[in-house]
Every structure is written in C-alpha cells, then in structure tokens.
Structure 1
Amino acid sequence: MPTQTHGYAAHAATTPLAPFSFERRDPLPGDVAIDILFCGVCHSDLHTARGEWGGTIYPCVPGHEIVGRVSAVGSDVTTFKVGDLAGVGCMVDSCGHCPSCTDGEEQFCETTGFVGTYNGPDKESGGHTFGGYSDHIVVDQGFVLKISHEEGALPAVAPLLCAGITTYSPLRHWKVGPGSKVGIVGLGGLGHMGVKIAAAMGAEVYVFSTSPGKRDDAKRLGAKDLIVSKDADALATHANSFDFILDTVAASHDLDPFVALLKRDGTLTLVGVPEHPHPSPTVGALIFKRRAIAGSLIGGIAETQEMLDFCSEHDLVADVEMIRIDEIDTAYDRMVKSDVKYRFVIDMATVAG
C-alpha cells in the first residue's frame, strides 16, 4: 500500500505554502524509503514555489537538501539497510545510459535531463515529483547518499546536498588545492560553503563582497581576507594573481573586474543564475591571458558522495538556522533580504501528521 505522506506545498505562485497530504509509492525492488528528519531551504525552492522561473507544476512540494533515516528498502537494495542515515539531493533519476550518465555526471543527462527531486516527471507513479518539505520520501538507491557525519550534525549536513556539492564540484573540477589562490564571490548560502571547502582543500581563500562588515565572518569561515568588490584600489592590489574564482552571486553584475584578477589560464566559474543576463565581458581581457569564464551545475551522484565523505573527514557542515515548517514563508521573505547566516533548515518533526 502507498504511504500517506504529510508535507507543505505551494498551491499557487501568490499564496503561502500550506499543509498538504499525498501518497508515496511502496518501495520498488531498487528503492530506499527514508523518514525525513531535516530539509535545507534553497533559493531554488523559493523561485520555484513562487513561479519566478516559470514552469512550476502545482501543487509543488519543494526541498532538495534532505537527510533522514532509512525506514525500508526494496528486495534488490544492497547499499542501504533500515536504520542507516541517508541523504537525497537535487535529483532522483536520469536516463542512466547517455554519455554523461555513464560517466557519472547524471546532472548533465543528455537524453531526458535529470529528474529533479521536486517539480520533475515522476516516471514510477506518474504526475510530478514531490520534494523534501515532507516527512517521508522513496528514491531509487542509485540516487541516495550515505551520511557518515554524526547524527547530531544532521541539520547542518542537509545543505551540503545542494550548497555543498554546487561549490565542491567546480573546486574539484578545476583542481583547487595547496598553492591555489582562490576567490569566492558572495558570502551567502553557497559562498560560505565555498570558503569552507576551498580552505579545507588547502587553498588560500579570499572573499569578494560588497559588505565590508562580513570580513570577520569570512575569516572565521576560513578566508585569509575579504576584499570589497566595489573598491577599485583593493581589487588592483590583487590583479593577475588568482588561479580560480568561484562566483556564487545570482544577480546580474559586471564580470570584468573579476576576470582582471585572474592569472594567465585562470578561470572564473559561475554557479549563480541571474534573473537578467550579466553584461558581456570584455573579450580582450580573456584573449590576452587565455582566461576562461565557465559554468558549473551541481555534481553527479559519485561526486556528491565524495563531497559528503570529504566534509565528514574535515568536519565541515553548513552554518544553519533551524525553523519550523510553518515558518517557511517568513524564511523565504528573509532570504530575499539576505537575512540568514547562512542556510535555513526545516525540522521536519514540525510537520503535522
């Protein structure tokens, strides 16, 4: 029998999220059922729930930073057992056979695209997927992650499933490590994890921010210093010196000042998607030092597991503020004002059954 599940859903772009009950499928042979303990709140949740990206299917149950305890497994599952701590990130399925999927880069699935944890096509039950603002989820074992952090850290582990992998993947891909000089643009939910992870990789890390008041926090998180991005003199002292810059800002802004900070062959990688396009970069600044502007999505399942293991080994978690599920709209409003340090996490025990 399908499992009755309780959560919170957006029923329209302009109405508050509200209690919502629905059914999850019984575990298929390859499925893992998880009782959700905590779910992080991502800016993507807000954009989707409020219809700001278009294409939202209502009712929409957001949430793709999920941690919990395995409650049941299908007959073919070999990687998890009842009682294990487990996580689910931004995707729950892909075609499994295109070049990207066979390379372990399911986030770039070339046939169907990856299936999002919410607002994606539900191939098994029909309709669309419902995410982690709920007390229970059933996911194919190939898209479930092992959690090796201590159980007490679980609330702060949840944001690693999106904010953690979104920053880890480009840092790993562009081979950041000891001897690297790395810049992180923006000190929010993504940026603060970028600082922690880059520092743990052995890099010399600097934060670029419009807010000089964030300097102490940047240093606490592992940065050597904060550079005020509107201070032309401060930027000039670092010209041509960065190996890699990770831009986490999701608002349209001029990329040229950051390109000028890169060494020859340096890369500026974007992970924030602005509402309006960035101004076109000055081509000469790219050509004459063979600099690159690139983009990065999340990471594949294998790399996400690698990130979780890395964070466990280095005792890395997100800085979080816990909320009740009925505080979610207030949290969204605060996120719009950047009034959170640095990620909201929902205690799913507050979902009424």
Structure 2
Amino acid sequence: MTVQAFGAFAADKPLEAMTIERRTPGAHDVVIDIAYCGVCHSDLHTVRAEWAGTLYPCVPGHEIVGRVSAVGDEVTAFATGDVVGVGCMVDSCQHCAECEAGEEQFCLNGMTPTYNGPTETAPGHTLGGYAQSIVVSDKFVLKIRHREDQLAAVAPLLCAGITTYSPLRHWNVGPGKKVGIVGIGGLGHMGVKIAHALGAHVVAFTTSEEKREDAFRLGADEVINSRVSEEMDAHALSFDFILNTVAASHDLNAYLNLLKRDGTMALVGVPEHPHPAPDIGALVFKRRSLAGSLIGGIRETQEMLDFCAEHDVVADIEMIRADEINTAYDRMQRSDVKYRFVIDNATLAA
C-alpha cells in the first residue's frame, strides 16, 4: 500500500514529502487512516541523528490518532470507523516476563518502536506517523474515547501523556500528596494537568517567570522559580514526589533536598550530557530515592487515555501543516511552542 508521508533521507537534509510503502495487512492487523500526529522532541533527535542509530529514510511520529479503515480477519476488538491511537511502540516479543506483566516497553527482547525499529518488511525499519496511514498489530492499537473536537489535542497523550501518567501512578500520586513537576514544556505541562486531575497538591517548577501564570492555568496550586533560592528553600523537606521532565543536564541536588524522608524524584528526560553526580548524602540520610521511568505498557496507556477522557484532559497544542514541520523543529529547539505541535495529516494529500 503506497501512502504519502513526510520524512528525511539524511541527518543533514530537511524533512520533505515522500512516498512510502505500508505492509499488506495480516489477520491481526489494523489499518488506520491517520488524522493527527503529535511532534515529539524525540522525532527531532532521531531525524537529525543526535541519537545513535538513525535509519534512513526516517519518517518520525509516535503520537498518532486516526480512524480504522480496515481490520484483519481475526481482529475482534476494533472495527471500521473506530477512533484509535498508536503510541511509541508497535510490537514486542509478547512472551518474556515483562510482556506478560503488561510492561511491553521493557520487553527483554526489545520492543519495536513506531519508527526506526527493525521490521521484516521494506525498508527494513518502521516508519512512523507523519504519513497518511499506518498498519499496526491489534495488540498495540488503543481506543480513543475523547470528543471529536478534542482529537488533535489527544495525539500528544500517546507519548507526553503516558510518559508523565506512568510515574505519577507508579508512585501513587493522589489526594494528600505534595507533588512537584520540574519543567513546564511538552512533558511538564501534561504532568501538571494529570497530577492535578489525580487530586494531588501540585507545585510547578520553572526557570521562566513568563510561565508562572500559565502553570496556574494548567492546574498548579503553587509555582516556584527554581532560580530563586528563597522560593526553593521555603519548600525544603516537603515533597512526597517530584517528576523531573527536564532533558537537559542540570543539578539534581536542588530538587532532592526538597523531598521528605522516603520521597522520590523520578526522571523522564534523557539529557544529551550526563547530569552532575547527585550528593549521595542527600539520598542516604533521608532514605530518598532517585528513579527513572519510560512511557508505559499498552494496558496502562489505555488506562491513561480513559482517565484523561473522563477528566477532560488533553494537551495544549498548535496545529501545523505537514510542510511546516521543519519550521516547527526549529521552533521546538528554541522552546517556542506551548506546548506541543500536532500535524494535520490531511495536509499530506494537498
């Protein structure tokens, strides 16, 4: 099946229109006409080979929302016309301990990412959601229950939403908990919204005074400028949990010292250069934990989507045409977006 897409042929080339082939659907496959695809910073890193191992041609996109146009003979959970989503992975071994536990993102044999992952069909690696359609195993397709007018803003939930929801749920964030969200960007703004919906007391950390009012609008109960030592010191030893979404190398100690005894800070951003080593004493003497988290399994991602539909949670987005993606990448690198670009995939046919 031939479809129009947008991608790159090399790291030093801009993204451009291209024609790609999708595999012939099998008995357990779902064919999805893509309506919207979110733009993640991981897309930029991969396209520009800032992470090792990019395969070309590279068609990014792992925040996919669309409608089912066909299903395989043995698909029972989906039907033509269903509104569905696809996130960061499209396959896993399905038989290791991690997969059996519903944690396919940690598949011991390696989950298959939605783009740049190995596949037996041409071109030898997966091609993502900057395209008119995609063919995905029914085990990795998700039901979307949001309203029709929210669908574009649902797309970023498939990465930014689950990346923040999973650690918030894992560390039992909810009523009676004081929770910090470090960084108010594509991930952080979802962290604030979801933590607020979970019923926690939410404190947003930012280095930008310009984002203070925005953080309150997103659902923060308090906002701290992390560059103002008096504001930071006033919250020492008071947090149950901190979700750190910043992907740039920075001093972790300033946040570790805000945790209560037995508090945890979870990192979801992978910096280009390592963080300075944290003060081990800050961990040892208060039994604090420094942890990490990676998206979520399919079961938890469906739980997140249902939770967000119930609580009317979506991303703050700016819609773009497919041919505006290079400008969007440049703006994203300058943090000039509030808070997620989403491609209107109908423009691929224009």
Q: TM-score range by the shorter chain?
A: over 0.9
Are the counterparts in 2 of residues 212 and 226 from structure 1 also a CA contact under 8 Å? no
Aligned-pair CA distance for 1:124: 5.1
Give the partner amino acid of 2:2: Q
Pick aligned residue for 1:105 from 83, 103, 106:
103
Taking the aligned partners of 2:22 and 2:9, their CA distance within structure 1 comes to 19
Whether contact under 8 Å (2:316, 2:340) holds in the other structure is yes
Instruction: Report the TM-score, using the length of structure 2 for normalisation.
Output: 0.99
1:27-68, Cα deviation, whole Å (9 max, x unpaired) = 100000000000000000000001100210000000000000
Matched, 1:249 2:246: yes
Secondary structure class of the residue paired with 1:68: strand
Is 1:30–2:28 an aligned residue pair? Answer: yes
Tell me whether 1:238 sits opposite 2:235 in the alignment: yes
2:283 aligns with one of 263, 282, 286: 286
Aligned runs of 1:35-184 on 2, under 5 Å? Answer: 35-111=33-109, 113-123=110-120, 127-184=124-181
SS in 2 for 1:95: coil
- The structural deviation recorded for 1:150 is 1.0
**Which of 332, 342, 346 is the equivalent residue of 1:345?**
342
Amino acid of the structure 1 residue aligned with 2:133 = H
Instruction: Give 1:271's aligned residue.
Output: 268
- Deviation of 1:123 after TM superposition, in Å, equals 3.8
Distance 1:286 1:253 in 2: 17
Q: Secondary structure at the match of 2:336?
A: coil
Paired amino acid for 1:72: A
What secondary structure, in the 3-state scheme, does the structure 2 residue paired with 1:149 have?
A: coil
Amino acid at match of 2:149: G
Shift of 1:125: 5.3
CA distance in 2, matches of 1:236, 1:22: 54
* 1:79-122 CA distance string (max 9 Å, x none): 000000000000000011111000000000012x1100000011
Gaps (5+ residues) in structure 1?
Answer: none
1:14 is matched with: 12
Distance in 2 separating the partners of 1:261 and 1:226: 14
Kindly indicate whether residue 210 of structure 2 is the aligned counterpart of residue 223 of structure 1. no
State the Cα deviation string for residues 300-339 of structure 1 (Å, max 9, x = none). 0000000000000000000000000000000000001000
Q: Which amino acid aligns with 1:88?
A: V
**CA distance in 2 between partners of 1:268 and 1:32 (Å):** 38
Question: 1:291, 1:348 → 2: CA distance?
Answer: 45
Q: Which residue of 2 aligns with 1:304?
A: 301
Partner of 1:214: 211
The letter for the 2-side match of 1:16 is P
d(CA) in 1 for partners of 2:71 and 2:214?
42
Structure 2 unpaired stretches of 5+ = none
C-alpha displacement of 1:26? 2.1
Identity fraction in percent: 68
Q: Which amino acid aligns with 2:266?
A: T
What's the CA shift for 1:186? Answer: 0.2
- Structure 1 runs of 4+ aligned residues shifted over 3 Å read 123-126
Cα distance in structure 2, aligned partners of 1:140 and 1:126: 18
1:33 counterpart SS class: strand
Is the contact between residue 31 and residue 73 of structure 1 (CA under 8 Å) also seen in structure 2?
Answer: yes
Post-superposition shift, 1:282?
0.4
Please identify, of 197-206 and 229-238, the stretch whose mean Cα deviation from structure 2 is larger.
229-238
